[in-house]
Amino acid sequence: MHADNARGALLGMAMGDALGLPAEYHRHARAGWGRSVLWEKNTVLDEQRISRPMLPFGLSGGSGGLLSGTDDVETAATTALVLLESRDHGTNTLFEGWRKHYVETDDVWCGIAERGAVRHALRGERPPVTGSDNPVYWDDGAVASAVPIGVLYAGDPANAARVAQDYARITHSRDGVWAARAMAHAVAALIGGEFLEPALQEAELTVPADSWLRRGLERAAEAAEGADTAFEAIPALVESFGRPVYSHGGVAPETLPLAFTLTRLVRGDLAAGLQAAALLPRQSDSLPAMVGALCGAIDGEKAVPADWAAQVDPVSGVLLPGVAGQRLTSLADRLLEARERFALA
């Protein structure tokens, strides 16, 4: 296992997270007046049958850099701090660490699943209720947390999957948990030196047979069958996963299967994977970050251009203030250094 691969996983995730229109909305979460005007004026434009909507803006620009990571990166960075600050990685200890960053920190912006868990925690509930009694327990918000878990447990995918499952149960249940578990297993195996196909196959074996996520994996594989390149597979993948029948884009039984499929098609090539993932618009909030993490774990930091690294390595804290000022490369190094301590624990 190599620091290069651990750093690559986090930087690759950040590159994907920085891409696409959803990231623009995240970077303007604290734009105040500009954000309220955006929603108000877009309603007026709809009434006037104007086809081009206004885009996120602010008089002083958005928070962070123009290509800074947002929700997935900050979720992963928060998880890294929880892992590093905890005396062990049991469910109760992880929950207390999570509370510090999501419940006891002011002005946190987060997803629906996380907000539901926060409200449960404020009422005194604990996992698994915080995750199971949740309107979007199946979303992919916990998958980003699985990446730093996979880094810390590099070479030990079984324990990575166990810890990811326990951590994901704070905010999610069933398919949302199983997706995080599979991602942690894959990242830990890849950073540990496993080849791409065995790593993904073994991660898929952690998914229950009779589940929405399992059916998503099978559907993605079927849609991509016969395609020689990721670009060639895009129309079939969009046809299978891109129909606008629901408003929520981050559906774990869709995004994780797409991430595994695209990573296979590009054979772990980071640049090719990011470009392909950006072509599925309805999944653009999280899919590029997942593909970036998987390909980065294979290609390593050496595949990240210096100009990209300069933009995505610093964590801005635009949504989760507790991680402002962290650097992903430093977190990757610290997670690897902590491996022995938690292996012994």
Q: Alpha helix locations (H) across 192-248?
A: 196-204, 212-224, 230-241
d(C-alpha 102, C-alpha 250), whole Å: 20
Reported for 332-336, long-range contacts at CB under 8 A and 24+ positions apart, including other chains, are 332/3, 332/6, 332/7, 332/9, 332/10, 332/151, 333/3, 333/6, 333/7, 334/80, 334/84, 335/6, 335/80, 335/83, 335/84, 335/148, 335/151, 335/152, 336/1, 336/3, 336/6, 336/151, 336/152, 336/154
> If you average pLDDT over every residue of the chain, what do you get?
94
Closest by alpha carbon to 278, among 262, 260, 301, 267? 262
Q: Over the stretch 200-225, which tens digit does the pLDDT of each residue have?
A: 999 999 999 999 999 999 999 999 99
Closest by alpha carbon to 64, among 251, 307, 299, 323? 323
Evaluate whether 172 touches 137 at the Cβ level (below 8 Å).
yes
Please name each of the domains of the chain with its CATH number: 3-28+70-344 (1.10.4080.10)
pTM for this entry:
0.95
Evaluate whether 240 touches 220 at the Cβ level (below 8 Å).
yes
Position 61 scores a pLDDT of 58
Amino acid residing at 192: G
Position 144 scores a pLDDT of 99
Question: Is position 285 annotated in a ligand binding site?
Answer: yes
Residues 6+ apart with CB under 8 A from 141: 75, 110, 111, 113, 114, 171, 172, 176, 250
Token digits for 14?
Answer: 């950040």
Amino acid residing at 120: H
Question: Is position 286 annotated in a ligand binding site?
Answer: yes
Residue where the block lists tokens 């925690």: 121
Amino acid residing at 104: E
Position 59 scores a pLDDT of 65
Position 60 scores a pLDDT of 61
Residue length of the chain: 345
Q: Which residues of the chain have pLDDT under 50?
A: 344
Q: If you compute the radius of gyration of the chain from its CA atoms, what whole number of angstroms results?
A: 19
Q: How many CB atoms lie within 10 A of CB 87?
A: 11
Question: Is position 36 annotated in a ligand binding site?
Answer: no
Q: Over the stretch 80-104, which tens digit does the pLDDT of each residue have?
A: 999 999 999 999 999 999 999 999 9
d(C-alpha 96, C-alpha 295), whole Å: 32
Question: Is position 78 annotated in a ligand binding site?
Answer: no
Question: Is position 4 annotated in a ligand binding site?
Answer: no
**Dmax of the chain from CA atoms?**
64
Evaluate whether 29 touches 287 at the Cβ level (below 8 Å).
no
Is the bond preceding residue 53 a cis peptide, omega within 30 degrees?
no
Burial (CB count <10 Å: 0-12, 13-18, 19+), residue 67: middle
Q: What is the DSSP string of 280-308?
A: -GGGTTTHHHHHHHHHHHHH-GGGS-HHH
Position 42 scores a pLDDT of 86
Q: What is the DSSP string of 3-26?
A: HHHHHHHHHHHHHHHHSSHHHHHH
Q: Over the stretch 125-173, which tens digit does the pLDDT of each residue have?
A: 999 999 999 999 999 999 999 999 999 999 999 999 999 999 999 999 9
